[in-house]
Structure 1
Amino acid sequence: MSAARPSTTRRVLKVHLVLVYVFLYVPIAVLVLLSFNRAGLPTVWTGFSFDWYVKLASAGPILSAAKNSIIVAIGATLISTILGTMLAFGLERGRPSGLLEASLVAPMIIPDIVMAIALLTFYTMLQATLGLHTIIIAHAVFNIAFVAAVVRARLKNFDFSLIEASADLGAGPVRTFVRVVLPQILPGVVAAGLLAFTLSFDEFIIAYFTAGPGSASTTLPMQIYAMIRFGVTPEINALATVVLGVSVFALIVAQRLEPRAVR
């Protein structure tokens, strides 16, 4: 009787797990499948074709938005990775503080809409001209906390006595960081950078609020939103599939690096 209960519990949990995965991933699988639909009908399958991907390759506004997203993602990744790594190192070397820990977690739990409004208000106070540069700065602010969290996971197992040994041998702080610290935490830094790139490439709300007028600062998620207001088409499905593929690839690489960072 007692042996049957754990077995029944495991089966229930397995069924629950399967249902959750079905709920999460079946809609995505349907979207990817319909992106190869031959006909122009967004929901009725009529045959396999790459026509919509070929059409994407010649769509000027989409290519321009994709270029903007790449520029924003690279810029935000570089800034947030540098600042986030410095923040993580400072937090690990400094005295434990509940206030500092809370301030690090806060950007990750604040709703995107709140952060977007706050950043737009800040730019308005500075009378800054909105454009790709304001999106890059906004995404960097959003990503710093995530970068710091990933890098700190690697620093948890870092032997800080190596820094003292390097100083005893005459190396300065900069040389010590470049020659001693950075090689040890590099997998974590790269994983954090890939995560920041993915978050920035996919982000919509903050970009929408901090972008300038016109197509010069339109990112790919903003372009998808503009297109989907007129209805879902196989072209939008194909575009969403490309964005999904970029995100999944970056996350897989980051996932493979992260275990090395935590060891």
Structure 2
Amino acid sequence: MRKTIGRWLVPVFGGLAFIFLLVPIGYVFAFSFNDAGRTNLSWRGFTLENWLNPCGAPAVCEALGNSLQIGAAATVMATILGTAIAIGLVRYRFRFNATANMLIFLPLATPEVVLGASLLAQFLNIGAELGMGTIIIAHTMFCISFVVVTVKARVASLDPKLEEAAADLYASPLQAFWRVTFPLLLPGIVAAALLAFAMSFDDFIITNFNSGNVDTFPKFIYVAATRGIPAQANVIGSAMFLIALAIVIGGQVLSHRRSKLLAAR
């Protein structure tokens, strides 16, 4: 009896949790086809106009463009710095190694309100003008921690003997890194970059503190919520979800094919 209950309990609760997570996404996707008027809160009829003209709502595409630019810039800088830090923390031992590890994890445990307010205070103290530049710096700061944590796990799994073998074959340290270490780290670096971009694109609290008059997509949604979120915002949100889903599925397919090729050899 207990085995029967246990056999059905986990799938049922797992299915309910899965449905709970997908219901908001389904709502956003469904209402992207709504023939909305001034608000997009009630269903008024099916239309493709929102998908054919996603920039129909004022300033929505400008906010999206700002978010994409900020996310791309913050991702590049955070990935480069985070990867270098991760390699340094794993491969080298120095006096304050444990302290550096703790400081890397600190932004992950700090509330975003505290981070946003602290960064705002720093920018005001140095007289920096709030805008795209301050947002990129702020996003790079908190994205570095996510990159370090992700890449660090990948670095720790590598066998140092591979680099030693490359050195025995007269490869310089730079050649050993680019031809041996970097290709092995690349899956972890790509995963870290995607995570950093997602965190940057989705951020509202820290951005709201340090953006000045610059609007990002999350800020646009927050402001629009007071008067009714336009259906075009649902279109953009649905498109971003579908793109992310395609990237994940594509990555899984490529990984599966690579595993089959390695097994065949």
TM-score normalised according to structure 1 size:
0.84
Structure 2 CA distance for aligned equivalents of residues 49 and 111 of structure 1 = 41
Could you report, residue by residue, the CA deviation over 1:169-189 in whole angstroms, capped at 9, with x for unpaired residues? 554433332232112211211
Question: Shift of residue 246 of structure 1?
Answer: 4.4
Q: Which residue does 1:71 correspond to in 2?
A: 69
Q: Which residue does 2:189 correspond to in 1?
A: 189
Structure 2 CA distance for aligned equivalents of residues 167 and 225 of structure 1 = 55
Q: Which residue does 1:129 correspond to in 2?
A: 129
Aligned runs of 1:163-182 on 2, under 5 Å?
A: 163-182=163-182
Selected match of 1:32 from 26, 29, 47? 29
* CA spacing shift, 1:256–1:92, aligned 2, 3 Å: farther
Q: Percent identity?
A: 37
1:32 match: secondary structure:
helix
* 8 Å Cα contact 2:85/2:148 also seen in 1: yes
* 8 Å Cα contact 2:50/2:56 also seen in 1: no
* 8 Å Cα contact 2:34/2:47 also seen in 1: yes
Selected match of 1:90 from 84, 88, 108? 88
Structure 2 CA distance for aligned equivalents of residues 189 and 258 of structure 1 = 15
* CA spacing shift, 1:39–1:123, aligned 2, 3 Å: closer
Q: Which runs of 5+ in 1 are unaligned?
A: none
Selected match of 1:220 from 183, 193, 217? 217
Structure 2 CA distance for aligned equivalents of residues 246 and 211 of structure 1 = 26
Structure 2 CA distance for aligned equivalents of residues 228 and 247 of structure 1 = 24
Structure 2 CA distance for aligned equivalents of residues 257 and 211 of structure 1 = 38
* 8 Å Cα contact 1:78/1:193 also seen in 2: yes
* 8 Å Cα contact 1:194/1:254 also seen in 2: no
Structure 2 CA distance for aligned equivalents of residues 236 and 141 of structure 1 = 28
Structure 2 CA distance for aligned equivalents of residues 104 and 220 of structure 1 = 28
Question: Shift of residue 164 of structure 1?
Answer: 3.3
Q: Which residue does 2:203 correspond to in 1?
A: 203
Q: Does 1:234 align with 2:214?
A: no
Question: Shift of residue 39 of structure 1?
Answer: 4.1
* CA spacing shift, 1:245–1:224, aligned 2, 3 Å: farther
* CA spacing shift, 1:120–1:144, aligned 2, 3 Å: same
Could you report, residue by residue, the CA deviation over 1:84-128 in whole angstroms, capped at 9, with x for unpaired residues? 101110111123954333222222222111111111111122211
Q: Which runs of 5+ in 2 are unaligned?
A: 259-265
Single out whichever of 68-77 and 90-99 deviates more from structure 2: 90-99
Structure 1 CA distance for aligned equivalents of residues 169 and 52 of structure 2 = 60
Single out whichever of 80-89 and 247-256 deviates more from structure 2: 247-256
Structure 2 CA distance for aligned equivalents of residues 239 and 122 of structure 1 = 33
* 8 Å Cα contact 2:57/2:230 also seen in 1: no
Question: Shift of residue 25 of structure 1?
Answer: 1.7
Aligned amino acid, residue 76 of structure 2: L
Could you report, residue by residue, the CA deviation over 1:120-176 in whole angstroms, capped at 9, with x for unpaired residues? 111122211111111111111111111112212222221212333444555443333
Aligned amino acid, residue 118 of structure 2: A
Aligned amino acid, residue 46 of structure 2: F
Aligned amino acid, residue 91 of structure 1: L
* CA spacing shift, 1:126–1:39, aligned 2, 3 Å: closer
Q: Which residue does 1:22 correspond to in 2?
A: 19
Could you report, residue by residue, the CA deviation over 1:50-76 in whole angstroms, capped at 9, with x for unpaired residues? 212334234451221111111101100
Question: Shift of residue 247 of structure 1?
Answer: 4.5
Question: Shift of residue 202 of structure 1?
Answer: 1.4
Aligned amino acid, residue 185 of structure 1: L
Number of residue pairs matched? 254
Question: Shift of residue 229 of structure 1?
Answer: 1.6
Q: Which residue does 2:261 correspond to in 1?
A: none
Q: Which residue does 2:78 correspond to in 1?
A: 80
1:57 match: secondary structure:
coil
Structure 2 CA distance for aligned equivalents of residues 123 and 12 of structure 1 = 52
Structure 1 CA distance for aligned equivalents of residues 63 and 229 of structure 2 = 18
